[in-house]
A and B are shown apart, each in its own frame.
Chain A
Amino acid sequence: MIADKRSLTRLFPIALVALPPLLGLGYALSASLGLSGVANGGLTLQYLREVIASHTTWAAVGWTLWIATASTVFATLAAVLLAATFRAESTADRIGRMVAVLPLPIPHVVAALASLLILGQSGLLSRFANTAGMFSTPAQMPPLVYDRLGIGLIFALVWKEIPFLALIAFTVLKSRGGLLEESARSLGANRLQTFLYATWPVLWRGMLPGVVAVATFVAGSYETAALLAPSRPLALPLLTMERYTDGAMELRPDAFVLAGFSLLVSLAAVAIYGAMIARAENFK
């Protein structure tokens, strides 16, 4: 009985954390099935069918997956490189580590604005190129923001996610890297071999939860996309918000179906994480 009470008490904080998103999920699910929200005309799969059949949806999902994957991969690589470079206790390395995590408290929207100011067709880069006589009008500068590949958006996201992932990488290497690497070196491994067989496996396992968090965050992030993404294809968060705030009320359920798609994208990242961890456990 006492044990029961204790486990109930322990469940309370979990419920506190889990309940609001679960309630939101419940509402979104019922709204996308026509059971609640503005268009609550009774159970229907019509909205689900329409959204699934729409080319716009898949273009948005595809583009968002591209942005999430590209920015996560680039940010992870940069974080690993930083961790491997600045790992000693020397003053130079300490300064290196400190500078690497400096952008951490800067809001995403500021990073997006910085990207706009630097990469825009009338931005700093364009003005330097102009001064250097490379082109005379802003339109001659290749579009790096509102562009189809999302270069400006990826640039802003990578810059913002590097410090977060680097912080994890520094901690992982400090706590778990040293001993393994020493053993590798004492067994005659060279620098590259030590990195490949001792440093990297420790790093990726330690960083994986952070990498998944970054990928899911980026996939759902609205404000950076609103400032830097093109109008076609429309990023998934932008498309969702557009349907949610459209003057035509019959588009409201679409927004909830699209929110479900966002959730699936995040769940896919978590599933990949689970599978990778399971594989690693099997190897053990």
Chain B
Amino acid sequence: MAIVGCALLLSACNKDRAENGNRGAIARLPWADVVSLARGSTVTWRMWRGDPSVNAYVDCWVAPRLMSDYGISLRAVEGQGPEIVNQLVVERQARARGVADLVWINGETFHNLRAADLLWGPWASRLPNAAALDSSSSIVMRDFEQPLDGWESPWGRVQFALIYDTVRTRHPPHSFAELKGWITKHPGRFTHDQQFTGVAFLTGLMYSLSGGAEKFEGGFRRALYDTASARVFGWIEDVRPDFWRSGRDYPLGVAEMHRLFANDEIDFTMSYNQNEVVTKIRQGVLQPTAHALVIADGTLANAHYVGIPFNAPNPAGAMVVANFLLSPEAQYEKLRPEVWGDGTVLDAAKLTSALRTRFESLAADPHAVPPAELARHAVPEVAPQYREHLAADWKRLVRERAP
């Protein structure tokens, strides 16, 4: 059966190798030629489609402008992180023509795609708008410590924040030590989710308990991880009886966390976007008394990127879209709290004074953490293996050993 299945998959489609060679030259063409190649084409963008604000920005703001400025029709389709890797692996094995031209990626996914040679490039440093990138920021220019080298183009920047209710919790904790005390004093009112954001919380905790993020920079070190993770799970073990449901069960993802928080079952939810509190209040998901909070020990910040798959049918179109996403107009629109509140990857100092004023005029929403405070406490993500191991060990040592 397996042999029949594989044989059929392998013979399903045969890719023209010469085509790959021609596509390689696209990244070296003058920009005007890339734009004219892209004109009139369709770009399929595989991206996370789980947030109505993000979808509205892409479908109702980005797509019409790409059509009017470049004649490009943008087709945004669902697929994120590991799903993208799975899909591309299958396409390579079946030697099938690709479907996606552009993929929204970062961290582990970038690492896995690069390791399996599933990205096309390098191309990103060829984008005219890349000149205004915040090139001094290690958070933007390094993806979980990995150099970008033109294989992906920065798109947005986010920072981890806790969300609490200013009425229910008048004196929120500002460090992990204070949080521990708070949890013990308020049994059943704190938890974290099992997925991406929950692991980000644990990573922040790991930095804090082991002397800061800089200790973990410079690639994955097993011995360091073993000592540091033991401290994390020790901390969790100490407070677990006072977690929601006595630490026996954990919400699946942040959507469940937000629901439990809004329904007064827990007192903190969390988000890997410092401004999500603002958009969620506007959507009516969170109560107007919700407020973001950063832990002063340091909170994780990272950037997200767009990449082009090795078998993208339309790499020129994808490059034009990526360049448009980096334009000051698109970055400004995305940053507006009523749109998405996604941080910019541009350096304001590199913009014209008129544009700079526009960015600076975006007054911080009273529910959000002021930009200066965010910047003061931002710490970068380190090698993706730390996150992978922490996630696996949490499942083994915490979730499965639940009383």
List the interface of chain A (C-beta within 8 A of B).
22-27, 29-30, 33, 35-38, 40, 55-56, 116, 120-122, 138-139, 143, 146, 226, 230-232, 238, 244-249, 252
Contacts and interface: CB of A to CB of B under 8 A. Distances in A.
B194 interface: yes
A231 B249 contact: yes
Contacts of B85: 38, 249
A249 B6 CA distance: 20
B402 A232 contact: yes
Which 4 residue pairs spanning A and B have beta carbons closest together?
Answer: A26-B5, A122-B263, A30-B2, A247-B108
B135 to A, nearest CB: 27
A143 B251 CA distance: 13
Nearest to B5: A26
A226 B253 CA distance: 10
A120 B86 CA distance: 35
Contacts of B157: none
A249 B84 CA distance: 12
B81 A245 contact: yes
Contacts of B259: 116
Which residue, A30, A40, A56, has most C-beta atoms of chain B within 10 A? A30
B350 interface: no
Interface residues of B, number: 42
Interface of B: 1-6, 8-9, 81-83, 85-86, 89-90, 93, 107-109, 112, 116, 188, 194, 245, 248-252, 259-260, 263-265, 384, 387-388, 391-392, 399-400, 402
Contacts of B107: 247
B1 A122 contact: no
Contact of B6 (A35, A56, A226, A231): A35
Given A26-B5, A249-B85, A231 B265 contact: no
Contacts of B9: 23, 27, 36
B116 A30 contact: no
A37 B9 CA distance: 12
Nearest to B112: A249
B219 to A, nearest CB: 17
Contact of B391 (A30, A116, A122, A247): A247
Which residue, A22, A116, A247, has most C-beta atoms of chain B within 10 A? A247
Given A122-B263, A138-B264, A139-B265, A26 B249 contact: no
Contacts of A120: 263, 265
Given A33-B2, A139-B188, A247 B263 contact: no
B86 A38 contact: yes
A30 B2 CA distance: 5
Contacts of B3: 26, 30
